[in-house]
């Protein structure tokens, strides 16, 4: 039997390294359940995320087949570790989507019980550093019951939209005009200027819907703000 755990925050951090703006969660579910590991049996795949993320993408994760667990930082990693340590004896494979070295003790414990461990992440560089921790790399090298699966292999299948580096651009700052290019799937950049401001949003309808509360908050603070949405 196979157990699957996804650290939602870690998966989010991997987007830039993979060049992915938004994931296809149904494809992620399919890959984790059918292409990684050999066990036919399956425990319900668990996706751990924050309360804020649950409001934005929780329904899409559940529609894809994941069981969502809302656990806010810093308890999220600890929650997954506890779940891994408490796995029933029927489990023969563990699939973890994360690369944080904090998971090594719990993974080592189940590997020593003869359970096969799959660490799913990416070694793509972000800000010049590998996203896989040094201690995790040592664990993967030293344990024959472990396999690293690089999401780079599945990038094209997982990509719903590509990663775009958005920046805050000031237009005629002396007039107080600001143009913000920001993906709604990320926190909106602060608005500078008190006169006329423009926000241009690009993304899927799902992304725009997820950013509605942030947009309304900005409109309350800046009554003359104009919002353009393209998707």
* Residue 152, domain CATH: 3.40.50.1010
pLDDT band at 223 (very low <50, low <70, confident <90, very high): low
Same domain, 71 and 103: yes
Contact status, residue 82 vs residue 64, Cβ threshold 8 Å: no
Contact status, residue 6 vs residue 75, Cβ threshold 8 Å: no
pLDDT at 227: 55
Q: Which two tokens stand for residue 34?
A: 């059918």
Same domain, 128 and 19: yes
The model's pLDDT over 32-75, given as tens digits with 9 standing for 90+, comes to 999 999 888 999 999 999 988 899 999 999 999 999 999 988 88
Q: Which two tokens stand for residue 113?
A: 């019980």
Q: Which residues contact 208 (CB under 8 A, 6 or more apart)?
A: 184, 201, 229, 231
Distance between CA atoms of residues 193 and 191, nearest Å: 7
96 alpha-carbon distance from chain centroid: 13
For the residues 192-217, what does the mean pLDDT come to? 51
pLDDT at 106: 94
The structure's pTM equals 0.71
Distance between CA atoms of residues 203 and 173, nearest Å: 26
**Burial class (CB within 10 angstroms; exposed 0-12, middle 13-18, buried 19+) of 75:** exposed
Residue 152 has pLDDT above 70, yes or no: yes
pLDDT at 17: 87
Same domain, 52 and 136: yes
Contact status, residue 207 vs residue 230, Cβ threshold 8 Å: no
Highest mean pLDDT among 94-98, 169-173, 193-197, 198-202: 94-98
Same domain, 138 and 53: yes
Cα angle for residues 9, 43, 8 (degrees, 5° grid): 5
pLDDT band at 225 (very low <50, low <70, confident <90, very high): low
Cα-trace Rg, the chain: 20
Distance between CA atoms of residues 183 and 114, nearest Å: 44
Distance between CA atoms of residues 185 and 88, nearest Å: 37
The model's pLDDT over 99-124, given as tens digits with 9 standing for 90+, comes to 888 999 999 999 999 999 999 999 88
Distance between CA atoms of residues 53 and 198, nearest Å: 26
Say how many domains are in the chain. Answer: 2
For the residues 13-36, what does the mean pLDDT come to? 92
41 or 129: whose pLDDT is higher? 41
Same domain, 61 and 136: yes
Same domain, 150 and 188: no
Same domain, 33 and 130: yes
38-44 own/partner pairs: CB under 8 Å, 24+ apart: 38/93, 39/1, 39/2, 39/92, 39/93, 41/1, 41/2, 41/90, 42/1, 42/2, 42/4, 43/1, 43/2, 43/3, 43/4, 43/91
pLDDT at 215: 59
Distance between CA atoms of residues 151 and 123, nearest Å: 9
User: Mean pLDDT, the chain, as a whole number?
Assistant: 78
Domain with 205 in it: 166-230
Same domain, 80 and 176: no
- Of 114, 135, 160, the position where a domain reaches its end is 160
Same domain, 172 and 225: yes
Same domain, 147 and 194: no
Highest mean pLDDT among 24-33, 131-140, 165-174, 202-211: 24-33
């Amino acid at each position: 039997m196979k157990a699957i755990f996804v650290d939602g925050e870690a998966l989010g951090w991997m987007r830039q390294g993979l060049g992915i703006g938004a994931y296809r969660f149904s494809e992620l579910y399919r890959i984790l359940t059918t292409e990684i590991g050999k066990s036919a049996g399956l425990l319900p795949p668990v996706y751990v995320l924050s309360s804020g993320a649950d409001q934005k993408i929780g329904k899409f994760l559940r529609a894809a087949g994941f069981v969502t667990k809302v656990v806010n930082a810093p308890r999220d990693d600890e929650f997954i570790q506890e779940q891994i340590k408490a796995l029933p004896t029927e489990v023969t494979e563990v699939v973890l989507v994360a690369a944080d070295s904090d998971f090594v003790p719990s993974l080592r414990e189940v590997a020593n019980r003869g359970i096969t461990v799959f660490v799913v992440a990416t070694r793509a560089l972000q800000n010049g550093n590998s996203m896989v921790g040094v201690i995790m790399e040592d664990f993967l090298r030293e344990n024959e019951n472990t396999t690293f699966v690089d999401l780079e292999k599945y990038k094209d299948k997982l990509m719903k939209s590509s990663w775009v580096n958005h920046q805050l651009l000031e237009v005629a700052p002396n007039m107080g005009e600001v143009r913000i290019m920001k993906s709604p799937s990320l926190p909106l950049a602060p608005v500078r200027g008190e006169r006329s401001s423009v926000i241009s949003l690009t993304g899927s309808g799902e992304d725009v819907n997820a950013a509605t509360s942030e947009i309304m908050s900005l409109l309350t603070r800046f009554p003359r703000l104009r919002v353009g949405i393209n998707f």
